[in-house]
Amino acid sequence: MKRTKMILFGVFSTALFLLIFTAQSALAKTYMIGSSLAITGPTSDAGSPYAKGMEDYCKFSNDMKLLGRDKVKCIIRDDAYKTATTKRNFEDFMDQEMVIYLNYSTGSTLGLKKDFEEEEIPVLPASYHAGNLTGSNYILLPSASYSEQAIGLAEYVARNHKGGTPRIALFLHPSAFGRGPLSDVKKAIKAGLKVNLVEVVEHGKDLDNTAMIKRLLKKKVQYVISQTVQSPVATVLKDAKRLGKIATKFGQKGKLTFLGAHYTGGNDLIALAGKASENYFWTTAFTLTSEQSAGTDAQLAMARKYGRDSKTANSHNYTSGIMVMQIAIEAIRRVKAKGMDVGKKSVYKELLQMNGFNAYYPLTTVGPVTFGKDDRAGVDSLQLYVVKKGVFKAVGSPFVSKYAKMIK
């Protein structure tokens, strides 16, 4: 009798365990985050580590159960920088009930802007083009725009230049991505920023920039602010070095001091330009592994955990990829914490409440992520770095561009 009871008890408890286990699994939800990136094709040197950062943080959040029982399903697709493919990927994600969309290029972000509006889905692009925000409610820039970066660099030049108004040139990528800050820099100058914009150069695929460097020097240009990708900057730096026209210290007379925005710098620039990258000034909103902090330690540990090589682990694009995924998952976590259903509308609403005491500190950036109805750029602070002995070192504290705010 006792034995029968024992067997019955065993069967009953096993059944109960199985029931609880399956019920728990059934209750656990999966939220879809879609992403279309240029992992191959143009700018894939940035897109590939960016995708790896996103992928790793997605795995990390599931492994560490950041959303409790619930999980995120991150679909990361390659669009090879083709807007048509981006659109196809976006439609695919929408069919799968995506809650937030992580896009990449300026072209595709502008191209799909109307779709984002109609679908009312929050979008975090890798493009910090200020024009993304024009006529859009759902695009949120993860960090300060290219315009803010370029104006911030021009402000730094104006503050630290000795003797008269500094003469600057803009070195731009021949695309919407490159041209983005041009009109805003002009507006800032009109608003009182004390720099003299002498020339705007849209680079091609030149292998030699001797003529351009000589022309700029003839026009007494002392500072070149770049808004492009690393390889054209590396070519200019190497040519300036070869001609002996690269400034060895900031603002050296008769020489050129080079400065650049987010996508112009990073370790890839140092690898491409070698010693010519010494004294290159660069601004970004992200922490760098060459400047140790809690965030960079965590980043390197995560890269090790998921088997990334040293190049990827130390790339600022890897950091940027982690950061956008951090924002997305944090927004989902906050929606869940409020007991609301996780969907594109609730995630968007939560993102807009990420300010004040609710600001998000991802540790991968030099300032907090803040969004609001009138604030569509996440990290407003920027950090200036300069290459010293082959590594980027921080110059001063994080700053916020005064004139960028003024012209908004």
Residues near other proteins (CB under 8 A) = 39-40, 44, 48, 51-52, 77-78, 80-84, 87-88, 91-92, 94-95, 107, 110-111, 113-115, 118-119, 131, 174-176, 179, 306-307
Minimal distance, residue 285 CB to other proteins, in Å: 24
- Choose between 324 and 387: whose C-beta lies nearer to other proteins: 324
Name the one residue in this structure whose structure tokens are 């969309």.
Answer: 101
Q: Taken in order 123, 125, 128, 133, is the CA torsion positive or negative? A: negative
User: Is residue 385 within 8 Å of 281, Cβ to Cβ?
Assistant: yes
Minimal distance, residue 82 CB to other proteins, in Å: 6
Minimal distance, residue 205 CB to other proteins, in Å: 12
Name the one residue in this structure whose structure tokens are 């503050």.
Answer: 159
25 exposure class (CB count in 10 Å sphere: 0-12, 13-18, 19+): exposed
- Choose between 104 and 250: whose C-beta lies nearer to other proteins: 104
- Choose between 227 and 365: whose C-beta lies nearer to other proteins: 227
Minimal distance, residue 11 CB to other proteins, in Å: 38
Minimal distance, residue 203 CB to other proteins, in Å: 13
- Choose between 111 and 251: whose C-beta lies nearer to other proteins: 111
Minimal distance, residue 151 CB to other proteins, in Å: 20
CA–CA separation, 111 vs 84, rounded Å?
9
- Choose between 111 and 368: whose C-beta lies nearer to other proteins: 111
Minimal distance, residue 382 CB to other proteins, in Å: 25
Residues composing the chain: 408
- Choose between 94 and 217: whose C-beta lies nearer to other proteins: 94
CA–CA separation, 130 vs 405, rounded Å?
12
Q: What are phi and psi of 398, to 5 degrees?
A: -60, 145
CA–CA separation, 353 vs 169, rounded Å?
39
- Choose between 50 and 282: whose C-beta lies nearer to other proteins: 50
Query: What ranges make up the beta strands (E) of 239-370?
Result: 257-260, 281-284
What token pair was written down for 3?
């034995």
306 Cβ contact partners less than 8 Å away, ≥ 6 residues apart: 55, 56, 59, 60
What token pair was written down for 96?
């799968």
